[in-house]
Amino acid sequence: MSTLSKLRRLVLRDGISIREASNRLGISRNTAKKWLDQPEMVEPRYPKRASGPGILEPFEEVLAQWLKTDSHRNKRERRGTKALFEGLRALGYPGSRGPVYTFALRWRKEQDLAAKGQGFVPMHFDMGEAFQFDWSTEYAVIGGLRRRLEVAHTKLAASRAFVLSAYYNQAHEMLFEAHARAFAVFGGVTKRGIYDNMKTAVDKVGEGKKRIVNARFETMTGHYLFDPEFCNRASGWEKGIVEKNVQDRRRGIWREASERRWNSLEELNAWLHKACVDAWEHLQHPEWIQMSIADVYQDERLRLMPNPRPFDGYIEHPARVSSTSLISFQRNRYSVPCEWVNAMVSVRVYHDHLMVVSPEGEFIRLKRCFERDQTIYDWTHYIALIERKPGALRNGAPFRTMPEPLRQLQDQLLRHPGGDRVMAQVLNAVTLHGLEAVLVAAELALQSGRVSAEHVLNVLSRLKEQTRSNEPVHTHLNLSRPSQANVDRYDRLRSQQMSGQEVSHA
């Protein structure tokens, strides 16, 4: 168009000949004459150049399929253009990487334009109407190790108040705990909850909005009295508020969390909850720009339903106790009381611990381990068995976790004949008097240098006597004449009895 404009100015305004003007502009005289013969200035159009098949054309279908497959993967797992080029070369592509890069760039731009071309309706939620829930995968250093974490995002749709909670997986018990924590921070529950079709909530996705909801998830919604609502397939924009929250918090709160070092997951979650509440104060609300999220949240909190007690969010599994008094759960083994050997027990799985219930209704609480192929012993579970098999103390694996005073006492006792039986008597005292008292008695016995079961039990009995308090006996009876010690009366009664006289003791 610039060449055409210059040509018209030279010929029609300055009076220069067509030949001279075409020479100055570097175009043919016939082309210049053709342009000037048109009554109006129209952009010249050229026929598309016909070219033969390019060197990449036989591989374009394969390359497009690879790009489409990568578009559905996580960003960390997508292949770069260089990897795609190497893959084509392995299939026999003889050309350079330039056409591959050009095709990939054009394909991605077309996909971006196609996605942007879709229309969306802006959403509006009333106060206390709904919250949105989603998971994201993040990384943090916990206990000196870089761990993969699943972060639960719960966000109120109206006020935009949000809560983050981190877990090691997305199991049912983690989902229930995330809701309990979020509702506790919000101080109430909305009338609806919006989710995608996650497997912990939906057993089967039907046609349209038909869903077969997981029974345990349905129980949780009935406990908190909110209606679950699920998005259509591959329609994340239907819960776009929490989807955006994932990206925003990853650039803000989680960036700071990933740069720190955490001793435990509980410490990280405590910091996350405080960081979320603090962020409400300075983040601007997208609809009421003069107000912060915290200001709008104060209005929405009044519209929330009351928050009941936390849902007892456990998942129950049956397990059989082995002959070594162990149960297996998720590639780990945990010890239970030896009285339960070969019995079927119920394992109630919580987000941070296991509750094992015996057939008689007795239960114990075990700390949950998220590593693999670990055996977690509690030596107190084997005390009753050691009474019958004291010889197992010498190499018993559970007793390697005993407190240091008991281990020192065991080392000294096992040097003498019958020391294992003596140590079994000391351990049996734990069930009668408690661990703290036995530890104090063991330390005193070690300090004295005389180590024996009788000595430890003697020290233990003396400690119990010191702690026993002589409290007065309270009664509603009152004596009109308090009793007094009368030794003379005792001697008189004794002499009468020896002489054979009838003695009245009343």
Provide the angle, in degrees to the nearest 10, between the axes of the packed helices 404-413 and 419-433. 150
Would 242 be classed as within a structural domain? yes
Summarize pLDDT for 128-168 with one digit per residue, the tens. 999 999 999 999 999 999 999 999 999 999 999 999 999 99
Same domain membership, residue 394 and residue 365: no
Verify that 190 and 295 share a domain, yes or no.
yes
Q: Residue 183: pLDDT above 90?
A: yes
Greatest mean pLDDT range, 16-25, 336-345, 387-396: 336-345
In a domain, 322, yes or no: yes
| pLDDT for 48 | 67
CB < 8 Å & 24+ apart, contacts of 252-257: 252/279, 253/164, 253/279, 254/138, 254/151, 254/164, 257/138, 257/140
Number of domains in the chain: 5
Q: Are residues 392 and 423 in the same domain?
A: yes
Q: Identify the helix (H) or strand (E) that includes residue 460.
A: helix 453-467
Tell me, what's the pLDDT at 136? 93
Supply the CATH number for residue 253's domain.
3.30.420.10
Asked if residue 350 and residue 335 are part of one domain, the reply reads yes
**Do 178 and 141 share a structural domain?**
yes
Q: What percent of the chain has pLDDT over 90?
A: 44
Residue 451, in any domain of the structure: yes
Whether residues 232 and 174 share a domain: the answer is: yes
Q: State pLDDT tens for residues 50-76.
A: 555 678 888 888 999 999 888 888 777
Residues 280 and 348 in one domain: no
Check whether 340 has a pLDDT greater than 50.
Answer: yes
**What does the alpha-carbon distance between residue 39 and residue 272 come to, in Å, rounded to a whole number?**
71
pLDDT of res. 506: 47
Answer whether residue 180 is part of any domain: yes
* 203 within some domain: yes
Residues 352 and 406 in one domain: no
Ranges 43-47, 173-177, 295-299: which has the least confidence: 43-47
Angle between helices 453-467 and 435-448 (to 10 degrees): 120
Domain, as residue range, for 404: 382-464
- What is the rounded distance in angstroms from the CA atom of residue 461 to the CA atom of residue 7? 117
Least confident segment among 169-173, 246-250, 318-322 = 246-250
pLDDT band at 369 (very low <50, low <70, confident <90, very high): very high
Among the candidates 376, 402, 423, a domain finishes at: 376
Question: What pLDDT is attached to residue 333?
Answer: 95
Shared-domain flag, residues 195 and 167: yes
Give residue-wise pLDDT tens across range 198-237: 999 999 998 888 999 999 999 999 999 999 999 988 777 8
- Tell me which of 359, 376, 393 is where a domain ends: 376
User: Could you tell me the pLDDT band of residue 119, with boundaries at 50, 70 and 90?
Assistant: low
What are the C-alpha distances in Å from 269 to residues 151, 307, 312, 376?
10, 21, 20, 25
pLDDT of residue 459: 73
pLDDT (0 to 100) of residue 15: 86
In a domain, 116, yes or no: no
Calculate mean pLDDT across residues 420-433. Answer: 84
Which residue type sits at 234? Answer: A
Residue 445 binned pLDDT confidence (cut-offs 50, 70, 90): confident
Cβ atoms of 150 and 135 closer than 8 Å: yes
Instruction: Specify whether 225 is located in the same domain as 137.
Output: yes
Tokens of 418: 């019958």
User: Is the model's pLDDT at 35 over the cut of 90?
Assistant: no
Backbone angles phi, psi at 320, to 5 degrees: -105, 135
**25: confidence class by pLDDT, cuts 50, 70, 90:** confident
What is the pLDDT confidence band of residue 321, given thresholds at 50, 70 and 90? very high
Residue 109 has pLDDT above 90, yes or no: no
Residue matched to tokens 């309990």: 180
Quick one: average pLDDT of 478-490?
71
Most confident of 72-81, 164-173, 417-426, 468-477: 164-173
Name which residue leads in pLDDT, 460 or 364. 364
pLDDT for the residue 18:
86
pLDDT average, residue stretch 3-10: 84
Ranges 342-351, 402-411, 482-491: which has the least confidence? 482-491
**154 lies in some domain:** yes
Alpha-carbon span 195 to 202, nearest angstrom: 10
Question: What is the average pLDDT value for the chain, to the nearest integer?
Answer: 86
Regarding whether 361 and 397 lie in a shared domain, the answer is: no
Residue at 340 is within a domain: yes
* 392-430 residues labelled b (16+ CB within 10 A) or e (exposed): bbeebebbeebeebbebbbeebeeeeebbebbbbbbbbb
SS3 percent helix, strand, coil of the chain, rounded to 5, is 45, 15, 35
Locate 283 and state its tokens.
């983040």
Say whether both 135 and 281 belong to one domain: yes
CB 242 within 8 Å of CB 153: yes
| In the predicted structure, residue 467 carries a pLDDT above the cut 60 | no
Indicate the residue among 346, 376, 406 that finishes a domain: 376
pLDDT for the residue 38 = 80
